[in-house]
Amino acid sequence: MLDKPLKLKKKEPKQDRAKFLIDTIVEAATRIIKGDVNKDFNTNTIAEVAGVSVGSIYQYYKNKEGIVEDVFHYHLENHFETLMKEKMYGDGITSEQLIEKVIRGQFELWNKNPALAKALLSSVPYFFNVKKITKNVDKTIFFFMEIIKKNNLDIPRENLELKIDLVIGMVRNNIFLFFTNPDKYQYELMVNETINMAQVYIINKNLDTSSL
């Protein structure tokens, strides 16, 4: 169980070597959180798994919670890069298919390692980095708008960016609810209901109540 993190500031890596060190530390921390390495989660074991000195870690992090923060945001950014590959959204895609692919894709990426998802998402309220989250949301909105324009999708344009922003929040909330309480919700039901709500809100699709 991770301790409640403090409000953190870390030294920003400015060189390729420093970036490599940060990536190595984050990868080592990820392996420990996932359970790939049977060790307690602390700066000493992270340094051991990363093959670096503890002093190197403290060049960029005040404590282990700062490392968890970076693991989360690296994970979030990798999800974005995976989902935003344009080949997933080819010509002829419908509005409903676009929404379903993006939402189902996000759930599937987190579901690749439920233990890591639970550990990271459970820590989010303590170190919610507004700047990084906002940047990721802005990129997602831009992506949606570009795909909609490219495929000339029949989606009402009024307040569309705001609607997409609100749906992103809803999707992330549902992902948080499921992976931090996996015994409380059925995976497929949560995914389908999230997709259904998003389609209703964005494209004015009739509500599907078959699963209610």
Residue pLDDT, tens place only, 137-158: 888 888 888 888 888 888 988 9
Please answer whether residues 204 and 166 qualify as being in contact, where contact means their C-beta atoms are separated by less than 8 angstroms: no
pLDDT surpassing 50 at residue 89:
yes
End-to-end CA distance of the chain: 35
Say yes or no: 132 and 43 in one domain: no
In a domain, 27, yes or no: yes
Residue 211 lies in a domain: no
CATH number (domain holding residue 155):
1.10.357.10
Domain for residue 2, yes or no? no
Q: Tell which residue, 110, 36, 112, has the closest CA to residue 72.
A: 110
Q: Residue 162, class by beta-carbon neighbours within 10 Å (0-12 exposed, 13-18 middle, 19+ buried)?
A: exposed
Give the span between the Cα atoms of 157 and 163, in whole angstroms.
10
In a domain, 122, yes or no: yes
Please tell me what DSSP assigns to residue 79: H
Q: What is the pLDDT of residue 6?
A: 38
Distance, CA of 193 to CA of 188 (rounded, Å):
8
What is the predicted pLDDT for the residue at 5? Answer: 41
Instruction: Identify whether residues 166 and 100 lie together within a single domain.
Output: yes
Clarify whether residues 79 and 182 are in a common domain.
yes
How many domains are there within the chain? Answer: 2
Residue 100 lies in a domain: yes
Residue 184 has which token pair? Answer: 């409380």
Q: Which two tokens stand for residue 124?
A: 């989010």
Helices 130-150/160-180 angle, 10° precision: 120
More confident residue, 52 or 78: 52
Residue for token digits 């699963």? 211
Note whether 108 and 56 are within 8 A (CB): no
User: Does the pLDDT value for residue 24 go beyond 60?
Assistant: yes
DSSP 8-state symbol, 151: T
Please check whether residues 136 and 181 belong to one and the same domain: yes
Same domain flag for 193 and 122: yes
Q: How many residues does the chain have?
A: 212
Classify residue 58: in a domain, yes or no. yes
Q: What CATH code is carried by the domain that includes residue 43?
A: 1.10.10
The parent domain of residue 20 ranges over: 11-62
- Cα–Cα separations (whole angstroms), residue 19 to 2, 26, 71: 25, 11, 14
Statement to judge: residues 150 and 172 lie in one domain = yes
Task: Read off the pLDDT of residues 30-57 as tens digits, 9 standing for 90 and up.
Answer: 999 888 888 888 999 999 999 999 999 9
Domain final residue, candidates 43, 62, 81: 62
With respect to residue 4, please indicate whether it lies within any of the assigned structural domains: no
At residue 3 the predicted structure's pLDDT band, cuts being 50, 70 and 90, is: very low
Do 55 and 109 lie in a common domain?
no
Rounded to an integer, what distance in angstroms lies between the CA atom of residue 76 and that of residue 207?
30
